[in-house]
Structure 1
Amino acid sequence: MTRSVYVTGIDRGDGRQVIELGVMELLTRQVDRVGVFRPLVHDGPDRLFDLLRARYRLSQDPETGYGMYYREAAALQAERGTDELVTRVVDRFHRVARDYEVVLVLGTDFADTQLPDELALNARLANEFGASVIPVVGGRKQPADAVRAETRNAYRAYEALGCQVLAMVANRVAPADRAEIAERLEARLPVPCYVLPDEPALAAPTVAQITHALGGKVVLGDHAGLARDALDFVFGGAMLPNFLNALTPGCLVVTPGDRADLVVGALAAHSAGTPPIAGVLLTLDERPGDEVLTLASRLAPGTPVVSVAGGSFPTAGELFALEGKLNAATPRKAETALGLFERYVDTADLLERMAVARSGRVTPMMFEHELLERARANRRRVVLPEGTEERVLRAADVLLRRDVCDLTLLGDVDVLRKKAADLGIDLSKTQLIDPQTSELRSRFAEKYAKLRAHKGVSVELAYDVVADVNYFGTLMVHEGLADGMVSGSVHSTAATIRPAFEIIKTKPDAKIVSSVFFMLLADRVLVYGDCAVNPDPDAVQLADIAVQSAATAEKFGVDPRIAMLSYSTGSSGTGADVDKVRDATELVRAGRPDLLVEGPIQYDAAVEPSVAATKLPGSEVAGQATVLIFPDLNTGNNTYKAVQRSAGAVAVGPVLQGLNKPVNDLSRGALVQDIVQTVAITAIQAQGVNL
């Protein structure tokens, strides 16, 4: 029978979308096929379903994701009773459930539904679905004692109606009350109660949402600027000096369109980062002249300037009534929501209580989720030398919102802050260092000169060398000021890893430094080595690469079954290249008899069971290899790129192995998600290093 989890509430405004998103995150860590079902929906698009479908790559047809419309349900219940309504919704649910390992059910929203006793309806549907229930109670602007009482009452209500309550959630409570509410409820409830504080960034509408709601016209700005959260509203009417003192980080400036001085002043303040603003909203359907707009666009490129027809007073009324919404167009809010969920919910305990059996295979999404979870569980600091690169800043934004690790960004601090402000990224929790002016530069110069004295490096020369961001970052790792480093989005592989060879050096048990790529295919994760570092390893080096790659695979949850690849399988071929692979295979078997290894073997025989049955029947590796070792860089690099482009695989890496401390290289075409994953991998690698 399909396992299902029903997230519901007791009233509107509980912000339960955060919980629904968080539960979906947990479920997709465990199983490959997760369905989504909402018993009743309003007319129009379902923004949360669209978000879940996009974020978790669901193939589910939206038409299967709901039972019926509220208007239909109200009419059916009035005419034929609740039993008929429940029967029809349950029938629709089971049509969906048969196709999935687990179904997340999104309870009714208690908003304009015209349904009597909606709590009881949710409870009955959960029971009919055979679903466990997670009720959510909204605590925004409520005193602590009221939140506690309402949460206990909600538990009693669902429990009395026969529901299996997995856990209770009190959401959007005052941050100052969170700890007390959690402590009191823990003592009064027989199930866990997770208490989440109100998060202003989630309630804040984006500039795009404000523009849409007010029927505004975008005068200046780009997509990234429109995605900024408006955390506050500052209404311009004062003289410029007083106005500037009133600005707050992330505020939306609201001013009549003829106040060019306030427009320019606000954008100049944003450009200087004192403070960064969300944008400017011009009222009265007026806008400054072209010369002022040209200056504005140069002062703060990308920062939105929006014009609306209404005056300041009616516009204020509309603004204060708006609230941010999670949807597919607000991915940064989703990251914030997940970060909040993962900080205040015991995810391991909740997963255990849901009792969702893990799928037998590791899917790409499971692998990605596992990376972030493991990095978060034992925090490390990762230094990013390319701090002024936009992709790196966007990756830092995701990592910070998800609370994955601590970060240090290198670069000109003024440039860093300006670029972050233009992108709407908050770096207040990030360490920013300029190697050119840092007080660490002299210390690092002395250290580097000592390490490279045998090469004739003086302190004076070292002082220039360590100003390079990659050398500076590597020395931070060497000196224990950071636990790992990730670079390469704009630097060559040589520029990234040469400092590591010179400063961090190889582990005592590693013969060489090598690399692997995690290849995230549609139905599995494979480990490819070495596709990035060693051009033509000999048999001893190839065996070392295989052993290191198996250890890396195992560290990241991939059961290592090693295929030593060649153009020949078994004893069918001869020649120097085949002999090298054969010798390397024997070295692995002799040195690590605990590892499953096969070689020489062709790629098709390594991964395809039907081919393996013909070429190497009875092999424990053939047809089910997970770690594929290429004989040389030419073969490995071309193969990983061919698989990446032709099979639509996601290639995570290269992940370096064999160094004393983790330093990892990025492709210069790395996407934001690639950087996020590589940083998480680096943080996990650092967890196993004695620093």
Structure 2
Amino acid sequence: MARSIYLSSAEGHTGKSTIALGILATLTRTTAKVGVFRPIARSTAERDYVLDLLLEQSTAGLDYDTCVGVTYDDVHTDPDAALSRIVERYKAVEAACDAVVIVGSDYTDVGSPTELGYNARIAANLGAPVLLALGGRHTQSGVGEALGRAEARTADDMRQFAELSLAELRVEHASLLAVIVNRADPENLEEIVSAVASAIPGTTDVPVWAIPEDPVLVAPTMGAILEATDGTLIKGDKELLSREALGVVVAAMSMDNVLPRLVDGAVVVVPGDRTDVLLAVLLANASGTFPSLAGIVLNGGFELPEPIERLIEGVRSPLPVISTPLTTYETAVRITHTRGRLAAESRNKFDTALALFEQNIDGDALIELLDLNRSSVITPLMFEYGLIERARSERRRIVLPEGNDDRILRAAATVLARGIADITILGEPFEVRSRAIELGLDIAAADVVSPFDDVLRFKFANSYAELRAYKGKAAPTVEQARDTVTDVSYFGTMMVHLGLADGMVSGAAHTTAHTIRPAFEIIKTRPGVGVVSSVFLMALADRVLVYGDCAVIPDPTSEQLADIAVSSAGTAEQFGIEPRVAMLSYSTGESGSGADVEKVRDATAIVRERMPDLLVEGPIQYDAAADAAVAAAKAPHSAVAGRATVFIFPDLNTGNNTYKAVQRSAGAVAIGPVLQGLNKPINDLSRGATVQDIVNTVAITAIQAAG
């Protein structure tokens, strides 16, 4: 039977989705099949965005319809029949999972009995303990609530609120697991926790945690504002529609009175016929001497005059400008009633929510409360979370040379928010930080370094010239070296070489050769390693395999193949994978012959000589290495056959095509390429890398740097 947890709140707008996301992330660290269940959804016609978000992070593989119980209309019509249906639907989910996160209703008028009471009744009938979410802000609508300025509840307010809520749980015989106060006053977290704990009768075993208010989570994005105002994006960068609006400035006054009222992160509402104010706001935002804005909404539906259009084009401001036909009053009202949503497409909110949960909730204690045992199965999400946890515990500094790429900035913000590593970004500091602010990203904790910084450039040039001096007449002069090291790949590699960073991740906008050539020249290979090679960490549905080499050496010799195998086994161990090495070929054992088979046979012999304790088999076919049934027929006495974890391909053509075939056909998550054999870690990205790919690679590099 699956372990379950019922997340319920005592009112609306508590930020329950933030807590649900954190619980789900915590459980997927240790449990293979974690599902999600929504007992009550708003309707069957409109998808629940919270459930969509959580299903993307769940690991049970269940579809949306399976994970919904009933609708609010069903509860209104017949609460008892609805409860029976919820239990029936839940049992199907429970049967397919090891753990289930049950997310209670959202306070859209269930009616009688009270909504918390009905959720408690559901929890009791499902046999699920309740994690009670209490809101740290007074519930209200309008400007204050929408823009994160709702009045904070005092510690005494929270105590009284907790007493009332807990009484409803007791009436319905629901079991209390823990209490989380969300959106709590950051200045009074300890007092709030203590006050709520005092409201729990008869026991001190129920933990109470508090998550502080964060304006980013409740602020609407410019994209949400565009939709709410029936607007059209007429100017600016559509990528910036993902930025949160942290305030509203209604600019229905003269230019000299508007400018002093601008605030960081604000959306500015400008009457469409006040083009002087529009231009002033655009120029103020571009100047860098005024607060950075989230966007502009032009109301009234007026078309911009052609000379103004040309002038705006000349300014080249990326700031989103939205046109709406609404009046100033209607526009302001709609903006202030637009709530921020923690949805799948909002990366900034996602990272903020996870970081807040991880920093304020004891995940290990939560797992212990649910009595969850660590699974022997390793899912892709479990592996990714494991990487992040290990990197966080090591806390190394990683340099990202491609500071002009938005994906790099978004990944840097994620890494910093979740405490995965310290970050140095290469680029002109004003440009990098300005772009991050435009995107609504917090990279304040990152070091931003110009590759033309004279102090570092001269230092790096002298060191590089000395390193290359053994090349004789081909060695660069110091003047030539000063030009060479301004290349971001060389500059970043020199930072790693001289200890200013522990590792480097690049390649989002550069070729593999551009990324790793400086490493060959400067970092060089570890003692006893002949070549630099690569592996992909292939996260399958239930385990992680290591594939090498799939990215660097086109046609390795026997000696190089042995080097690849030894390095790959070391990489496997570094990431918690017991190395059982399969040296792949088109034949198994003594069944085939030919130059290609002999190369693999010779390489296997070299590996055994160098590492006699390493489990290695070769030559062996892929099916015999991976499938126990085939192994029983083809290699019955092998300790590797049917159980291989490290697969060494005979050449790059085979390796690259195989990893891509497995990635596409088996739905595996391919993490890498991870470079191995260097004295210090340098890792390459695909130019199609996603933000999550970059985050994973940063975590891997930090782990490699820690040894």
Which residue of structure 2 aligns with residue 172 of structure 1?
A: 183
Which residue of structure 2 aligns with residue 48 of structure 1?
A: 50
1:130 CA displacement? 2.1
For 1:347, which of 363, 367, 371 is the aligned residue? 363
What per-residue deviation string (whole Å, max 9, x for no partner) do you get for residues 408-444 of structure 1?
1112334324443443433333221111135322222
Question: In the alignment, is the contact (CA less than 8 A) between 1:271 and 1:421 conserved in 2?
Answer: no
Structure-2-length-normalised TM-score: 0.90
User: Is the partner of 1:167 in helix, strand or coil?
Assistant: strand
Q: Percent identity?
A: 49
For 2:216, which of 197, 201, 209 is the aligned residue? 201
d(CA) in 1 for partners of 2:96 and 2:18? 26
| More displaced stretch, 625-634 vs 192-201 | 625-634
In the alignment, structure 2 segments of 5+ residues that lack a partner are 138-151
User: Is the partner of 2:625 in helix, strand or coil?
Assistant: helix
Which residue of structure 2 aligns with residue 606 of structure 1?
A: 625
For 1:107, which of 104, 108, 117 is the aligned residue? 104
Q: Are 1:398 and 2:395 matched, yes or no?
A: no
1:539 CA displacement? 3.3
In the alignment, structure 1 segments of 5+ residues that lack a partner are none
d(CA) in 1 for partners of 2:264 and 2:454? 27
Residue correspondence of structure 1 range 206-605 to structure 2 within 5 A? 206-221=221-236, 223-274=238-289, 275-297=291-313, 299-300=315-316, 303-455=319-471, 456-605=475-624
d(CA) in 2 for partners of 1:243 and 1:668? 43
User: What amino acid does structure 2 have at the position aligned with 1:119?
Assistant: L
1:87 CA displacement? 3.0
Q: Indicate how the Cα distance of structure 1 residues 174 and 385 shifts in structure 2: closer, same or farther if over 3 A, else same.
A: same
Which residue of structure 2 aligns with residue 633 of structure 1?
A: 652
Question: In the alignment, is the contact (CA less than 8 A) between 1:561 and 1:626 conserved in 2?
Answer: yes
Which residue of structure 2 aligns with residue 18 of structure 1?
A: 18
1:663 CA displacement? 0.9
- Paired residues in the alignment total 683
Question: In the alignment, is the contact (CA less than 8 A) between 2:225 and 2:335 conserved in 1?
Answer: yes
d(CA) in 2 for partners of 1:54 and 1:496? 32
Question: In the alignment, is the contact (CA less than 8 A) between 2:525 and 2:677 conserved in 1?
Answer: yes
d(CA) in 2 for partners of 1:657 and 1:495? 17
d(CA) in 1 for partners of 2:392 and 2:98? 27
Question: In the alignment, is the contact (CA less than 8 A) between 1:224 and 1:302 conserved in 2?
Answer: no
Q: Indicate how the Cα distance of structure 1 residues 151 and 502 shifts in structure 2: closer, same or farther if over 3 A, else same.
A: farther
d(CA) in 2 for partners of 1:269 and 1:635? 56
1:557 CA displacement? 3.1
d(CA) in 2 for partners of 1:581 and 1:142? 69
d(CA) in 2 for partners of 1:244 and 1:408? 34
Which residue of structure 2 aligns with residue 73 of structure 1?
A: 75
Question: In the alignment, is the contact (CA less than 8 A) between 1:475 and 1:503 conserved in 2?
Answer: yes
Question: In the alignment, is the contact (CA less than 8 A) between 1:268 and 1:300 conserved in 2?
Answer: no
User: Is the partner of 1:533 in helix, strand or coil?
Assistant: coil
d(CA) in 2 for partners of 1:556 and 1:301? 45
User: Is the partner of 1:254 in helix, strand or coil?
Assistant: strand
d(CA) in 2 for partners of 1:206 and 1:684? 35
Question: In the alignment, is the contact (CA less than 8 A) between 1:276 and 1:421 conserved in 2?
Answer: yes
What per-residue deviation string (whole Å, max 9, x for no partner) do you get for residues 146-170 of structure 1?
2355446655764685544332211
User: What amino acid does structure 2 have at the position aligned with 1:568?
Assistant: S
User: What amino acid does structure 2 have at the position aligned with 1:384?
Assistant: L
User: What amino acid does structure 1 have at the position aligned with 2:558?
Assistant: A
d(CA) in 2 for partners of 1:155 and 1:373? 34
User: What amino acid does structure 1 have at the position aligned with 2:119?
Assistant: N
Question: In the alignment, is the contact (CA less than 8 A) between 2:625 and 2:640 conserved in 1?
Answer: yes
| More displaced stretch, 554-563 vs 11-20 | 554-563
User: Is the partner of 1:454 in helix, strand or coil?
Assistant: helix
Which residue of structure 1 aligns with residue 130 of structure 2?
A: 133
User: Is the partner of 1:296 in helix, strand or coil?
Assistant: helix
Which residue of structure 2 aligns with residue 143 of structure 1?
A: 154
d(CA) in 2 for partners of 1:646 and 1:302? 40
1:488 CA displacement? 1.4
For 1:663, which of 664, 682, 690 is the aligned residue? 682
What per-residue deviation string (whole Å, max 9, x for no partner) do you get for residues 520-571 of structure 1?
3445432111122233434343233222212212322333221111122111
d(CA) in 1 for partners of 2:610 and 2:166? 58
Question: In the alignment, is the contact (CA less than 8 A) between 2:396 and 2:502 conserved in 1?
Answer: yes
Question: In the alignment, is the contact (CA less than 8 A) between 2:35 and 2:59 conserved in 1?
Answer: no
d(CA) in 2 for partners of 1:241 and 1:216? 27
Question: In the alignment, is the contact (CA less than 8 A) between 2:155 and 2:192 conserved in 1?
Answer: yes
1:296 CA displacement? 3.1
1:313 CA displacement? 3.4
Question: In the alignment, is the contact (CA less than 8 A) between 1:3 and 1:130 conserved in 2?
Answer: no
User: What amino acid does structure 1 have at the position aligned with 2:552?
Assistant: V
Question: In the alignment, is the contact (CA less than 8 A) between 1:126 and 1:133 conserved in 2?
Answer: yes
User: Is the partner of 1:507 in helix, strand or coil?
Assistant: coil
d(CA) in 2 for partners of 1:371 and 1:651? 14
Question: In the alignment, is the contact (CA less than 8 A) between 1:259 and 1:288 conserved in 2?
Answer: no
Question: In the alignment, is the contact (CA less than 8 A) between 2:236 and 2:320 conserved in 1?
Answer: yes
What per-residue deviation string (whole Å, max 9, x for no partner) do you get for residues 319-343 of structure 1?
3333211223434322221122122
d(CA) in 2 for partners of 1:590 and 1:159? 68
1:143 CA displacement? 1.5
Q: Indicate how the Cα distance of structure 1 residues 65 and 282 shifts in structure 2: closer, same or farther if over 3 A, else same.
A: same
1:615 CA displacement? 1.2
Which residue of structure 1 aligns with residue 31 of structure 2?
A: 31
d(CA) in 2 for partners of 1:440 and 1:176? 41
User: What amino acid does structure 2 have at the position aligned with 1:606?
Assistant: A
User: Is the partner of 1:439 in helix, strand or coil?
Assistant: helix
Cα RMSD after superposing both structures: 2.7
1:229 CA displacement? 0.8
